A and B are shown apart, each in its own frame.
Chain A
């Protein structure tokens, strides 16, 4: 009896005598990356193991709910420490003062150096000269084509279309109703994705969002309308997301599509034919290389309980070694000092990296969703034929101009 008591006391003393190691402070992270090969998972594990001050507490949020969840968090005062945001909406949050200003931390950081980043991605996190976000990854669009179909139709797969007119004629040649094949596919959905795929053509025509009623903008939209009108692209493009268009490509029902690097893992697995990538074709005579920029940014909401820990994780994930891993799931590094050695899909990597040089950011503008919506409506009206292109664009311009007058792009 006594010995048992002594044992118990001894055990208690041992427990108390343990060095008072502080438990790692939890850093809540909300992200949208569900592929288990994404660099974020390796990053979280590496970060948690490499130090004991902080521990990442990650939550996978359904991607189409992320904005809503963040808004709810801000509205209820329960924000996470770190969030990955789609880069065009960052300005909507930062302009309203709901993100932590990172300028001081970036100035002191050895890893996050503004001049190393590509201009487009870095700009998405800026607002009124302050830094509110650090880019995590970047992506852009390229032309993906079915080399086997090219050969069957007598086109040279080594010479993909390089101008709009070549694109149009290739689409015409490749369209084969008997085999259920459309020559070209793109997304024109009433959503951000539709605008994302229209912008490259808008910029290549020399047009701009500020002047949607100008002839250049009209030409870019006319190109898309003609594809559908002539039957070289399916009418369903106004209802399809980008990946659904790529699905038709993988199923062998579209010969050429616009696709981003996130499709590469899937293409490798499911596309059982010779698929290749090419730079986006430019407009004849204009020769402007341009594409739209996508990607995710790290943001720290204002009022986060542990912003220091969050920023440390940002630095960890911005390390070129980690960013290298991003390419495994098709995520390009937003920094010029990261070049993947022996990348997967080397041809694609070269193309995307080159296209990224001319990718233009959407915004930053706090009312980007409103600008985008005006453009979506115009695109849909034009493609469905509900209104003539000129009228649709004039309407969009009328909606956009007051917004830009208040806050220029």
Chain B
């Protein structure tokens, strides 16, 4: 039924079962060089900026001394001030909820759509490419569009919902503190899912066909095929995409900035925007850097989690 999959060019050996990927001769100097080049590039360019921010979070920084690198040492005072801020707890929880729901939705919907479009029907490729238009827009534009769509009075969403008699009264998507986070989450999911979808499409295209043919001969139904063949084969790609989406969502705030500015009452505020506000609007640079470093902790946890999943991969 599914006739896709890579056919290795120029008539290679037919694939047998899952390929062995335990490396042979893995001490090859070329491999080390290949790894060193990109990692060195990243370290050279990003290590200093990260260190700069971590350092700033430990110092007492104001406009007067921001141009120096060595400012008065403040220890963990900035961190204490951050945790004492009444809004911080709310913003931290918002970040967790925002990132969590984004990852689950983007990867889940992305996978579903990728599988849907992986079937060969007319226009499947073109439609899939069109969906990516959502991801190509500048955050300023996406934020404005969704702000208009979600507007209580002149927004299309309420217009349709009320027109179809699904709700009795206009919903205050952006001006109700209990709904604003959900609204920006929906907008962000819309914005980011095509990215996951395209990556997972590429991964789906790489699944070998033979297991499916064997399973069809054994009489396995579509759900079983999905659970025992598709999912395990996609696992590395799914984890990689989930990891990436987590990191991107953890640091993205342009969309929320454009849609609600974090309001009302910080109900849609997340850590990176909170950090931005303290740094560039309240002129509290040390505190802004400290807030950014909290995100560091979360990402560290996620990164460790992701890396630990690789161990299972190696033994398969």
Q: Which A residues have a C-beta under 8 Å from some C-beta of B? A: 67-68, 71, 74-77, 92-93, 96-98, 180, 189-191, 234-239, 248, 251, 253, 369-370, 373, 377, 380-381, 384, 386
Tally of contacts, chain A with chain B, CB under 8 A: 81
Asked whether B264 is an interface residue with its Cβ less than 8 Å from the other chain, the reply is: yes
**In the complex, which residues of chain B have a beta carbon less than 8 angstroms from the beta carbon of A77?**
67
Which listed residue (B66, B260, B266) contacts A74, Cβ 8 A? B66
B67 to chain A, nearest CB (A): 5
Q: Is B210 an interface residue (CB 8 A)?
A: no
Binding site for A on B (CB under 8 A): 62-64, 66-67, 151-154, 172, 174-177, 180, 260-266, 279-283
Q: Tell whether A235 pairs with B152 under 8 Å between CB atoms, given A74-B63, A97-B64.
A: yes
Is the Cβ of A236 less than 8 Å from the Cβ of B263? Answer: no
Of all A-B residue pairs in the complex, the 6 with the closest CB atoms, nearest first, are A190-B263, A96-B63, A68-B280, A96-B64, A75-B66, A239-B175
B175: contacting residue among A93, A236, A373, CB under 8 A: A236
Residues of chain A contacted by B280 (CB below 8 angstroms):
67-68, 71
**A92 contacts across to B, CB distance below 8 A:** 63, 283
A93 and B64 CA atoms in complex are apart in Å by: 9
Tell me whether B263 and A380 are in contact (CB under 8 A): yes
Identify which of A76, A191, A235, A386 contacts B265 (C-beta below 8 A).
Answer: A386
Rounded to whole Å, the gap between the CB of B138 and the closest CB of chain A is: 12
- Chain A residues closer than 8 Å to B281, beta-carbon distance: 67, 369
How many angstroms from the CA of A402 to the CA of B193 in the assembled complex? 47
Contact of A239 among B63, B260, B266, B283 (CB under 8 A): B260
Closest residue of chain B to A89 (Cβ to Cβ) is: B283
Nearest chain-B residue to A385 (Cβ)? Answer: B177
A190-B263, A380-B265 as given contacts; A236 in contact with B67, CB under 8 Å: no
Q: Could you list 18 A-B pairs, sorted by A, with CB under 8 Å? A: A67-B281, A68-B279, A71-B66, A71-B280, A74-B67, A92-B63, A92-B283, A96-B64, A97-B63, A190-B263, A236-B151, A236-B172, A236-B175, A238-B175, A239-B174, A248-B153, A253-B153, A380-B265
Instruction: Let me know if B64 and A190 touch, CB within 8 A.
Output: no
How far is B153's CA from A394's CA once the two chains are assembled, in angstroms?
33
Q: Which residues of B contact A386 (CB under 8 A)?
A: 177, 265
Chain A at the B interface: SS class: helix
Nearest B residue to A369, CB-CB: B282
A238 engages B63 (CB within 8 Å): no
Min distance, Cβ A403 to any Cβ of chain B, angstroms: 12
- Residues of B close to A384: CB separation below 8 A: 175-177, 264-265
Min CB distance A216 to B, Å, is 24
User: A190–B91 Cα gap in the complex (Å)?
Assistant: 15
User: B281 to chain A: closest CB distance in Å?
Assistant: 6
B162 to chain A, nearest CB (A): 12
Q: In the complex, A82→B78 CA distance in Å?
A: 33
- Check B260 against A93 for contact (C-beta < 8 Å): no
The 8 Å CB contact of A71, one of B63, B64, B172, is B63
Our pick among B180, B260, B261, B265 for the contact of A377 (Cβ within 8 Å) is B265
| CA distance in complex: A369, B63 (Å) | 14
Closest beta carbon of chain B to A367's beta carbon, Å: 8
Known contacts A93-B63, A190-B262, A370 near B282 by CB under 8 Å: yes
Smallest Cβ distance from A80 to chain B, in angstroms? 15
Name 19 extra pairs, CB < 8 A, besides A98-B63, A253-B154.
Answer: A67-B281, A71-B63, A71-B279, A92-B283, A190-B261, A190-B262, A190-B263, A191-B263, A235-B176, A236-B152, A236-B153, A238-B175, A369-B282, A369-B283, A370-B282, A377-B265, A380-B264, A380-B265, A384-B176
